[in-house]
Amino acid sequence: MPQVELQFGGGLESLTGGNKVVPANFSGEQVVLGRVIDWIRTCLIKEKHEYFVQGEHIRPGILVLINDVDWELEGKTSYVIQEGDRITFISTLHGG
């Protein structure tokens, strides 16, 4: 049952009711990041889901970090989450 901390920034916090930090528990072994994203889309975000996920992918322009490491270095959605991981989602799409 890994517990992780989800962080939202760059405007994405508007999708989670203004919450920048959301703790979450996942049951089972070998929980991959793809499942976490799915959970965020279905359970955490109440509206405008397309601002977070488009089709099966996370919306282009959203950066993801796992414990401050670019998820592109960690296998993206196939990364297996560990107890205490901090997963950060930052939108790059807002303003200049």
Partner 1 sequence: MKRLCSHCGKSFANILVGREDKYLCRCCFFEYFEDTVHRTIVEECLLQPGERIAIGASGGKDSTVLAYVLKLLNERYYYNWDLWLLSIDEGIQGYRDDSLRTVEQNRDDYNLPLYTLSYSELYNWTMDQVVSQIGRKSNCTFCGVFRRQALDKGTEKIQANVLATGHNADDIAETILLNLLRGDHARFSRSVMEENANYRMSIDSDSKKIRRVKPLKRVYEKEIVMYAYFKKLKYFATECIYAPFAYRGHAREYLKSLERIRPHSISDILYSLSCISLEDSKTRVGQQCIRCGSISSQNICKACLLRTSLDRGQGVLAVKRSGMAILSKNTVESEIPQTVSESSTESNIS
Task: Identify the sign of the CA torsion 70, 72, 77, 80.
Answer: negative
- Judging by beta carbons within 10 Å of its beta carbon (0-12, 13-18, 19+), is residue 50 exposed, middle or buried? exposed
CB of 64 to partner 1, least distance (A): 11
CB of 92 to partner 1, least distance (A): 5
CB of 83 to partner 1, least distance (A): 17
Residues within the interface to partner 1 (CB under 8 A): 9-11, 14, 57, 59-61, 63, 65, 68-70, 72-75, 88, 90-96
